[in-house]
Amino acid sequence: TERAGNGTLTDEMAERIDQSGFTGGWRYPATVDVRTDPYQKKNAEVGAHLARRVFEERNWHQADILVFASASSRIETPEDIASRLHQAGMRVDNTLFYGMACAGATAAMSDLNRMTDLRGKKVVLVALESLSGSTIDPDDIQTAWTFGNGGAALGWVAGEEIIHHGGQTHVIKDPGTIIMPDPYIYRVPQDQLPQSSWPSWYVFRDEQARNSFGFFHGGAAITMLTEAEKPYAKLNPKRTYAFFARNVSQALLDFFSTHTFNGLGTGIIHHPSKPVILGTIEKYNEGRKKLQDTQIILPELDFRWLMPDGVNNVSAATALFHLSQLLEEKLIKPHVPTPLVGLGIGSVIHTDVIEFNTD
C-alpha cells in the first residue's frame, strides 16, 4: 500500500483506479502546499526551463507571446518566466495566462491560431502543473491519485505553422456532475472580471455559465464558484466520465454536421481517463450512425489512448504530452486536418480542427 493524504491506498483501490485509466504515478506527500512561495518559485523555474528549450530548439532569441497554462500556478507566473528568460538573453514581448483547468493549453492553441491579428507571431506555450498537497483534497483518494505533476512546452508561428480550420468552445456550469471551484490559487473576484471580451467562438450553455467565466490579465479563467467555495477540488469519477463523454461527443457531432472534411488525422485530446476517450468514441459513432440514416456523412474519428504506465493526468500539460507521444509514433501528419479536443473540469469543452502546416 501507499500513503495518500490521511488515507491509505489499498491494493483494491489501486486496481480500481488502474482499470479507470489511471496508473498511480502520483507520489507527492499531502503535506506539500503548492500555494507557498517555494513551490511557486519552483513552478517558474521549471516553466522557464521548458520555455528555454523551445527557444533553443527553434533557434529563437525573441517570442511575441508567452502563454502559460496551469491550474496550480499564480497569475504572476508567466511574467516571472519572462523575466527569467530575459536574464538568459531571450526576449518575450507579451504574456498570457490561461487558467482553464485541464483545457488551458489546448484552448490557447485554438484561440491563438484563430485570432487573425496574431498571424505570423511567434508563440511559446508552456503548460505546467504541480497538483500535489493541498491543491487537491488529500483525503479524497480517488482524486489525489488521479492527478500528477508535469510540464510540457510548444513553440510555433501562429496561423502559419499551425492553421485553424474551425471549431467552438463550450462553457458549461454543471455543479451537479462535478464540484470544482476554480483553484483558489489564482481566483479573481467575479466583479473584477470583464464581461464583454469573450471571443465569438465561445458558446455559453446558459446565463449561469456566462457568469462563471471571464478574461483577465490577457488570459482566460474559469471562475466556477460553488455553494460553499470549498478550498479543495473534488470529483465524482464515474459521473464526470459520463459527463465528458456525452458532451464532447455531442460537440463533435454538431461541429462535423456543419463542416465537411474528406479525412482527418489522429486527434489530439486531453487524456482525463481511458473511459472518457473510449466513451467519447463510442457515443460519437452511435450518433454518426444515426446521422448516416439521414444522408449526413460524418468523418471517422481516431483518438488513441497513449498514456504509459506511471504517468497520470497532469491537467493542462496532458494534451501537449499526448501530442509528443503522437509525434514520436509518427501519428501526426503534416498538411492533414487534425482534431484538437480539450476538456476542463468545471467545465470547458472545445472541439477544433487544426493543421500542422510544416514538415
Fill in the amino acid letter for 224: M
Cα distance between residue 333 and residue 50, in whole Å: 24
Q: Which grid cell is 291?
A: 446521422
Cα distance between residue 336 and residue 3, in whole Å: 46
Q: Which class for 285: exposed (0-12), middle (13-18), buried (19 or more C-beta within 10 A)?
A: middle
pTM, to two decimals = 0.86
Please name the residues in contact with 106: beta carbons below 8 A apart, sequence gap of 6 or more.
268, 270, 319, 340, 341, 342, 350, 352
Cα distance between residue 151 and residue 51, in whole Å: 10
Q: What is the pLDDT along the chain (359 residues), one digit of tens a residue?
A: 233 333 444 566 556 555 555 444 444 444 556 667 887 888 899 999 999 999 999 999 999 999 999 888 887 889 999 999 999 999 999 998 888 888 899 999 999 999 888 999 999 999 998 776 555 665 666 666 667 778 899 999 999 999 999 998 888 766 544 434 333 334 455 555 555 567 788 888 877 777 667 665 556 666 544 444 444 455 666 777 788 888 899 999 999 998 888 889 999 998 877 778 888 999 999 999 988 877 788 999 999 887 765 556 788 888 998 898 899 999 999 999 999 999 887 678 899 999 999 88
For 110-147, letters b (16+ CB in 10 Å) and e give bbbbbeeebeebbbbbbbbbbbbbbbbbbebbbbbbbb
Residue entry with cell 517558474: 44
CB 193 within 8 A of CB 214: yes
